[in-house]
């Protein structure tokens, strides 16, 4: 089995691109060599189809893909047409990467890709779903080993390559679920962008609707007020006409009476003159005769002897008009207030002091990074005192252990992971274990821990390191999810129990758990590096300050039969994806209880694949929900889908 940091063999093999040597084919590129059990099988078709879809993404990262199986070149060529048809690509399109034909099984055996539990109909072992990521220096950077029934996640492979390339050129490490968080953040941003765009569109439509409504209201108001003004104008004209008519009638009556009065005055003056003349006459007979006719006053031509009174008063009229104006203004104000109360006015720009605090934000000053003029004069840095004698003692112990490990590494290779498939996994070790914050110093059996459960044994380089803290924090967050699946977690590193105790408090604080909360799973203290050496978990490229190798980021998924079901080997600088581990466990448990396989990128609830060894009639009986078969150029009916069965259905 290839170990991290090993130079990958420069093998020569036949492929769909012709005869090739690995190192010459890769050149200065990264490489992904991934094996699959057989051609013309459902899961393998979905996997290579997904890899072909992502080939441009790999190419952007200067990564060359190489597939491998134990079938021959002719099968590879015919099968590649099915894969392109599965991807709905135009017939005749070129397959984007080579497929090695290892029909003599020499290469898969050399690279440890043959799990003994997977065999073809003739009893020959099939290659597992291995993934080897090879750096430009031709050294192994990462390895993944999945069983035949579980399709891989090529998005996870891309994520890990992004991490490997980032950490290769920068002195950084990537935390747990790195890129997944970025994608989730991007997804959140995209959802927010879509929502905001939708809000903008709705707002624009609302604004346009408001504009149309406001314009209609303005036009209606203009029309109504114009009609009102016209009505008032008509009332004004009618009132003026009435006033003028009354004025004319009164003047006409007054002029008639004036004429009569003037005529009467003239008659009276004439008689007065005649009486004056009569008073001077000497003729008494004439006087008596004339006086009798003149003594009676002439009849008045105006029947009304009262003084002339106007029929209308302009003062009263003006007062009435003023009252009408006041009443009309009051009515308009009251009605306009009612209309205004129905309209909401938003003050967008704050204009008063009390409106501004809502935009305030609390700022804090970091005295470690603030400019010296911003610091308090009394601020001081205190150095941490260390006990030199204790440190020197630890260094001597580490140097002694380093010499022992180097001798062991030179004398023999570490255990191959593939051997774990053959027998049950049971390591009884004197390593101390931190379980529920209570140290146990007795011999500890993996079998006793897992009992009839599934198990996940995962190692990490060191305690009190950033990536490891995020990883165990994420594992602790998901501990209930693992428990629901009857999966027990066990962590492992080369630190001691005391460090595990103290570090577990940091992890719980990282998760914002209540102080004193119990850590949910045990952490093995392999401070003598016995277990990591025995299981091949050491990363020779990652060393501590004393030069001792650190454990890599290994993941072993162990079944209730204590056999290894899956292994993942990541370098120390790349945080793992625990959601991917959960996904694979869901697939392992589903396929352990049902005669199905899960395709590439499968998630619980997705359709599953019917294995090619199940005849058509038996498949219809096994899967009453129905079986869908996709037609392919080869004419072979192997790409069969069925809805996910119940987990416990046999």
| 343-369: pLDDT as tens digits | 655 555 566 666 656 656 565 655 555
| 382-408: pLDDT as tens digits | 333 444 555 566 666 656 655 554 444
Total structural domains in the chain? 3
**Which one is predicted more confidently, 627 or 291?**
627
Please check whether residues 407 and 396 belong to one and the same domain: yes
Please check whether residues 170 and 185 belong to one and the same domain: no
Tokens 């020959």 correspond to what residue? 124
DSSP conformational letter for 354: G
Annotated catalytic residue 561? yes
Please check whether residues 524 and 403 belong to one and the same domain: yes
454 bridge partner residues: 487
For the chain, give the percent of residues with pLDDT over 70: 77
Task: Say if 303 falls within a structural domain.
Answer: no
Angle between helices 180-278 and 284-295 (to 10 degrees): 160
**Which one is predicted more confidently, 423 or 55?**
55
Q: Are 173 and 575 in contact (CB under 8 A)?
A: yes
Task: Tell me if residue 430 falls in helix, strand or coil.
Answer: coil
Angle between helices 497-510 and 466-477 (to 10 degrees): 70
The active-site residue, picked from 468, 526, 539, 554, is 468
The active-site residue, picked from 283, 326, 330, 561, is 561
Question: Given this model, what pLDDT does residue 422 score?
Answer: 36
Burial class (CB in 10 A: 0-12, 13-18, 19+), 169: exposed
Q: Determine the Cα–Cα distance for residues 183 and 167; give it in Å rounded to an integer.
A: 19
Please check whether residues 263 and 146 belong to one and the same domain: no
Query: Of the residues 128, 161, 177, which one is the last residue of a structural domain?
Result: 177
Q: Determine the Cα–Cα distance for residues 118 and 136; give it in Å rounded to an integer.
A: 32
Q: How far apart are the first and last CA of the chain?
A: 34
**Which one is predicted more confidently, 307 or 80?**
80
Q: At residue 503, what are phi and psi to the nearest 5 degrees?
A: -70, -35
Tokens 């290469």 correspond to what residue? 107
Please check whether residues 80 and 192 belong to one and the same domain: no
Please check whether residues 223 and 109 belong to one and the same domain: no
Task: Say if 365 falls within a structural domain.
Answer: no
Please check whether residues 183 and 165 belong to one and the same domain: no
Please check whether residues 145 and 155 belong to one and the same domain: yes
Task: Tell me if residue 133 falls in helix, strand or coil.
Answer: strand
Task: Say if 582 falls within a structural domain.
Answer: no
Please check whether residues 128 and 230 belong to one and the same domain: no
Count of Cβ atoms closer than 10 Å to residue 68 Cβ? 24
Please check whether residues 195 and 172 belong to one and the same domain: no
Domain that holds residue 185: 179-267
**Which one is predicted more confidently, 270 or 518?**
518
CA 13 to chain centre: 45
Task: Say if 104 falls within a structural domain.
Answer: yes
Q: Determine the Cα–Cα distance for residues 575 and 568; give it in Å rounded to an integer.
A: 12
Please check whether residues 407 and 554 belong to one and the same domain: yes
Q: Are 97 and 130 in contact (CB under 8 A)?
A: no
Task: Say if 445 falls within a structural domain.
Answer: yes
Please check whether residues 72 and 192 belong to one and the same domain: no
Q: Are 576 and 553 in contact (CB under 8 A)?
A: yes
Task: Tell me if residue 597 falls in helix, strand or coil.
Answer: strand
Task: Say if 474 falls within a structural domain.
Answer: yes
Angle between helices 578-593 and 466-477 (to 10 degrees): 40
Residue 49 has pLDDT above 60, yes or no: yes
Query: Of the residues 518, 545, 575, which one is the last residue of a structural domain?
Result: 575
Burial class (CB in 10 A: 0-12, 13-18, 19+), 82: buried
Q: Determine the Cα–Cα distance for residues 93 and 104; give it in Å rounded to an integer.
A: 29
Question: Given this model, what pLDDT does residue 5 score?
Answer: 84
Query: Of the residues 536, 552, 575, which one is the last residue of a structural domain?
Result: 575
Q: What is the CATH number of the domain that holds 90?
A: 3.40.30.10
CB contact set of 25 (below 8 Å; sequence gap of 6+): 31, 64, 66, 98
* Sign of the torsion formed by the C-alpha atoms of 465, 468, 470 and 473: negative
Task: Say if 203 falls within a structural domain.
Answer: yes
Annotated catalytic residue 468? yes
């Amino acid at each position: 089995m290839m170990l991290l940091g090993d130079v990958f063999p420069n093998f020569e093999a036949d492929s769909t691109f012709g005869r090739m040597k690995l190192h010459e084919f890769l050149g200065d590129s990264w490489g992904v060599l991934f094996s699959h059990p057989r051609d013309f099988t459902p899961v393998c078709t979905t996997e290579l189809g997904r890899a072909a879809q992502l080939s441009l993404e790999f190419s952007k990262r200067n990564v060359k893909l190489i597939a491998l199986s134990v079938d021959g070149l002719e099968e590879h060529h015919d099968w590649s047409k099915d894969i392109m048809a599965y991807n709905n690509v135009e017939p005749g399109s070129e397959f984007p990467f080579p497929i090695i034909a290892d029909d003599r099984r020499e290469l898969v055996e050399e690279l440890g890709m043959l799990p003994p539990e997977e065999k073809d109909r003739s009893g020959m072992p099939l290659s597992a779903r291995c993934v080897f990521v090879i750096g430009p220096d031709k050294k192994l950077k990462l390895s993944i080993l999945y069983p035949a029934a579980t399709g891989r996640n090529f998005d996870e492979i891309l994520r890990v390559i992004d991490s490997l390339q980032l950490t290769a050129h920068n002195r950084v490490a990537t935390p747990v679920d790195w890129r997944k968080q970025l994608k989730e953040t991007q997804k959140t941003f995209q959802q927010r962008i879509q929502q905001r765009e939708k809000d903008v569109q709705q707002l624009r439509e609302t604004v346009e609707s408001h504009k149309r409504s406001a314009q209609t209201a303005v036009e209606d108001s203009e029309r109504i007020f114009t009609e009102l003004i016209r009505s008032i104008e008509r009332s004004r004209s009618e009132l003026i006409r009435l006033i003028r008519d009354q004025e004319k009638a009164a003047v006409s009556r007054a002029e008639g009476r004036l004429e009569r009065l003037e005529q009467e005055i003239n008659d009276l003056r004439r008689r007065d003159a005649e009486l004056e003349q009569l008073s001077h006459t000497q003729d008494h007979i004439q006087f008596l005769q004339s006086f009798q006719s003149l003594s009676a006053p002439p009849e008045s031509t105006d029947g009304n002897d009262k003084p002339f009174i106007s029929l209308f008063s302009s003062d009263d009229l003006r007062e009435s008009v003023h009252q009408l104006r006041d009443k009309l203004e009051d009515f308009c104000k009251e009605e306009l207030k009612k209309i205004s109360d129905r309209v909401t006015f938003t003050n967008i720009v704050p204009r008063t002091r009390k409106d501004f605090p809502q935009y305030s934000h609390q700022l804090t000053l970091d005295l470690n990074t603030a400019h010296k003029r911003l610091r308090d004069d009394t601020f001081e840095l205190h150095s941490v005192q260390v006990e030199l004698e204790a440190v020197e003692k630890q260094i001597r112990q580490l140097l002694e252990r380093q010499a022992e490990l180097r001798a062991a590494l030179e004398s023999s290779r570490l255990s191959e992971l593939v051997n774990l498939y053959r027998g049950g996994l049971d390591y009884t070790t004197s390593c101390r274990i931190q379980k529920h914050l209570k140290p146990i110093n007795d011999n500890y059996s993996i079998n006793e821990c897992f009992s009839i459960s599934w198990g996940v044994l995962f190692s990490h380089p060191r305690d009190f390191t950033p990536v490891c803290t995020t990883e165990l924090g994420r594992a602790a967050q998901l501990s209930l999810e693992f428990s629901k699946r009857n999966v027990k977690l066990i962590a492992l590193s080369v630190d001691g129990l005391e460090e595990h105790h103290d570090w577990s408090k940091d992890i719980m604080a990282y998760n914002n758990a209540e102080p004193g909360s119990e850590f949910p799973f045990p952490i093995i203290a392999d401070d003598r590096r016995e277990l990591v050496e025995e299981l091949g978990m050491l990363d020779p490229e990652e060393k501590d300050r004393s030069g001792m190798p650190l454990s890599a980021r290994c993941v072993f998924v162990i079944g209730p039969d204590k056999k290894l079901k899956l292994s993942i080997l990541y370098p120390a600088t790349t945080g793992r994806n625990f959601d991917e581990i959960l996904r694979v466990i869901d697939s392992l448990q589903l396929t352990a209880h049902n005669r199905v396989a899960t395709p590439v990128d499968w998630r619980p609830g997705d359709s599953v694949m019917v294995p090619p060894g199940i005849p058509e009639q038996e498949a219809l009986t096994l899967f009453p929900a129905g079986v869908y078969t996709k037609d392919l150029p080869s004419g072979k009916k192997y790409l069969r889908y069925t809805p996910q069965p119940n987990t416990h259905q046999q």
